[in-house]
C-alpha cells in the first residue's frame, strides 16, 4: 500500500510539501474516502497551477487572487456547481493551514463562486396531470388500484408533501396523537395536515379526491388475509400496505412512478412533481400567490415565488404559439 501511495505521489505534479502534508492529514487523521482525497489533490493541483501562473506562492495567496482564479474557471466554461466544489476543497486546505499557523487567515473564507441558476421545479402540464389522475389500472387488484388512485388524487388535489401524505390517519386521534398526525375530514372536505416544523394547516380536498378516498376506505380492510386484516383495523394510517401497516414514503414514490409509466406519461413523476403541478396550475388559474403559499404551507412567500417563473414560462409558450407577430419571419 505504501509503495502504491508513493507512486501516486510521484505521478502528481510537483506539489509543495505542505500540500502533501495536508493530503496525508485528510487521509490518515480525517479518514476521508480515497475518492475524496483524490479530488482534494486535483483541486490543489489546479490551485498550485493558478498560483504559479500568477507568480505567487501558494501560502501567500490573497482573496483577490482567488476571485481572479474563479473568474478564469468561469470564463473557461466550468459550471458554477463544479467551481463551488473546487473552491470548497481550497477552503478546507486553507482552514487546515490556518490551524497549523502556516497562514494568518483563511483567504478563501468569504470567497464565493458564481451563483448557479436555480432550476425550475418540474411540473406536469394540466392535460398530463388529469390523464394521470383519471388513469385506472386494469391489471391491478381493486384494493391496490383504489389505494393508488386515492393517493394520486390527494397529492394533486392538495399539493401535499409525501411525508404529509403518509402521515395522514383515517380519523383524528386522541389529544397527543392528534399533535403528531394529520387526517382527512371527509364530511367537511378538508385535510388537516401536519407539515414541516410541526406546523399544521387546513387544505381543501377536491371532489374527485373525496370520491377516490371513499372508494379506498370502503376497501381498505376488505380482502386482506388474517391476521393482516386485524392489523389494518388497529392501524390508524389512512394509507396502508399489504401487511396492514402504514405505507412508507419510498413505497409511495415507487407506486406513483409505476402508475405514471402505465398511464403513458414519459416524465419521471414522483410525489413532489404533483405538488409542483398543484402549485403551478393553481397559480395559472387564480394568480393568487398568497393563497398558493398558504395551501403549500410555505413559511416564506419567496419560496412560493418560484412558481411565478413557471407561470410566466407557460404564458410565454402560449404567446409564442398564438400571437401572429410572436415568431420572426425567416431571413430568406
Would you say the C-alpha torsion 159, 182, 153, 256 has a positive or negative sign?
Answer: positive
196 is catalytic: yes
Please indicate whether residue 307 is annotated as part of the active site.
Answer: yes
Of the candidates 27, 275, 276, 281, the residue annotated as catalytic is 275
Annotation says 22 is catalytic = no
Catalytic residue among 161, 181, 259, 281: 161
Active site residue 5: no
Angle at 104 between CA 103 and CA 105, to 5 degrees: 95
Task: Measure Cα distances from 64 to 49, 54, 75 in Å.
Answer: 16, 12, 17
- Catalytic one of 27, 91, 147, 298: 298
- Listed residue (167, 150, 153) closest to 213, CA to CA: 150
Q: Is 216 strand, coil or helix?
A: helix
The single-letter DSSP state of residue 118 is: P
For the question of residue 161 being annotated catalytic, the response is yes
All three cell numbers of 18, joined, read 505542505
Annotated active-site residue in 22, 40, 156, 307: 307
Q: 3-state DSSP call for residue 12?
A: coil
Looking at residue 226, its pLDDT comes to 79
pLDDT of residue 305: 72
Kindly report the backbone phi and psi dihedral angles of residue 244, in degrees, each rounded to the nearest multiple of 5, phi listed first.
80, 10
The CATH 1.10.443.10 domain(s) of the chain lie at 126-320
User: What pLDDT does residue 177 have?
Assistant: 53
The pLDDT of residue 267 is 75
Distance of CA 63 to the CA centre of its chain: 33
Q: How many helices (H) and strands (E) does the chain have?
A: 16, 4
Indicate which residue of 30, 171, 180, 196 is catalytic.
Answer: 196
Is 77 in a helix, a strand, or coil? Answer: coil
Domain 2-99 has CATH 1.10.150: yes
The per-residue pLDDT for 10 is 41
Buried b (16+ CB within 10 A) or exposed e, 35-71: eebebbbebbeebbebbeeeeeebeebeeebbeebbe
CATH class of 126-320: mainly alpha
pLDDT, position 12: 44
pLDDT of residue 174: 66
User: CA 93, CA 42: separation in Å to the nearest integer?
Assistant: 12
Q: What is the pLDDT of residue 299?
A: 78
Residue among 20, 270, 272, 314 flagged as catalytic: 272
Query: Quick check: is 178 catalytic?
Result: no
Full pLDDT tens readout for the chain, 332 residues:
444 444 444 444 578 999 999 999 999 998 888 888 999 999 999 999 999 999 999 999 999 999 999 999 999 999 998 999 999 999 999 999 999 999 999 999 989 888 876 665 688 988 999 999 999 999 999 999 999 999 999 999 999 999 999 999 998 866 555 556 789 999 999 999 988 878 889 999 999 999 999 999 999 988 787 788 887 788 899 999 988 899 999 999 999 999 999 999 977 899 999 999 998 888 888 878 888 888 888 877 777 777 666 555 555 555 566 556 555 544 44
What Rg, from alpha-carbon coordinates, does the chain have? 28
Amino acid at each position: 500500500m505504501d509503495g502504491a501511495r508513493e507512486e501516486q505521489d510521484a505521478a502528481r505534479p510537483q506539489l509543495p510539501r505542505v500540500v502533501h502534508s495536508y493530503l496525508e492529514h485528510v487521509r490518515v487523521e480525517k479518514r476521508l474516502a480515497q475518492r475524496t482525497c483524490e479530488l482534494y489533490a486535483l483541486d490543489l493541483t489546479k490551485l498550485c497551477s493558478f498560483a504559479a501562473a500568477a507568480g505567487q506562492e501558494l501560502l501567500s495567496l490573497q482573496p483577490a487572487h482567488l476571485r481572479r482564479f474563479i473568474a478564469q474557471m468561469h470564463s473557461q466554461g466550468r459550471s458554477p456547481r463544479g467551481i463551488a466544489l473546487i473552491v470548497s476543497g481550497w477552503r478546507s486546505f486553507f482552514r487546515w493551514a490556518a490551524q497549523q499557523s502556516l497562514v494568518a487567515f483563511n483567504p478563501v473564507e468569504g470567497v464565493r463562486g458564481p451563483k448557479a441558476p436555480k432550476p425550475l421545479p418540474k411540473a406536469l402540464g394540466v392535460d398530463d396531470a388529469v390523464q394521470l389522475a383519471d388513469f385506472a389500472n386494469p391489471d391491478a387488484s381493486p384494493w391496490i388500484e383504489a389505494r393508488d388512485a386515492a393517493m394520486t388524487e390527494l397529492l394533486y388535489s392538495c399539493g401535499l408533501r409525501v411525508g404529509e401524505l403518509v402521515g395522514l390517519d383515517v380519523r383524528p386521534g386522541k389529544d397527543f396523537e392528534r399533535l403528531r398526525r394529520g387526517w382527512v375530514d371527509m364530511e367537511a372536505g378538508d385535510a388537516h395536515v401536519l407539515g414541516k416544523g410541526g406546523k399544521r394547516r387546513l387544505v381543501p380536498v377536491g371532489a374527485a379526491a373525496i370520491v377516490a378516498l371513499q372508494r379506498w376506505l370502503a376497501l381498505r380492510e376488505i380482502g386482506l388475509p388474517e391476521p393482516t386484516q386485524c392489523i389494518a383495523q388497529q392501524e390508524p394510517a389512512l394509507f396502508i400496505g399489504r401487511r396492514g401497516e402504514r405505507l412508507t414514503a419510498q413505497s409511495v414514490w415507487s407506486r406513483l412512478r409505476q402508475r405514471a409509466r402505465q398511464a403513458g406519461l414519459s416524465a419521471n413523476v414522483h410525489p413532489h412533481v404533483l405538488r409542483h403541478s398543484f402549485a403551478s396550475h393553481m397559480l395559472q388559474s387564480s394568480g393568487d400567490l398568497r393563497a398558493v403559499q398558504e395551501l403549500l404551507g410555505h413559511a416564506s412567500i419567496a419560496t412560493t415565488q418560484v412558481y411565478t417563473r413557471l407561470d410566466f414560462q407557460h404564458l410565454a409558450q402560449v404567446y409564442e404559439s398564438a400571437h401572429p407577430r410572436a415568431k420572426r419571419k425567416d431571413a430568406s
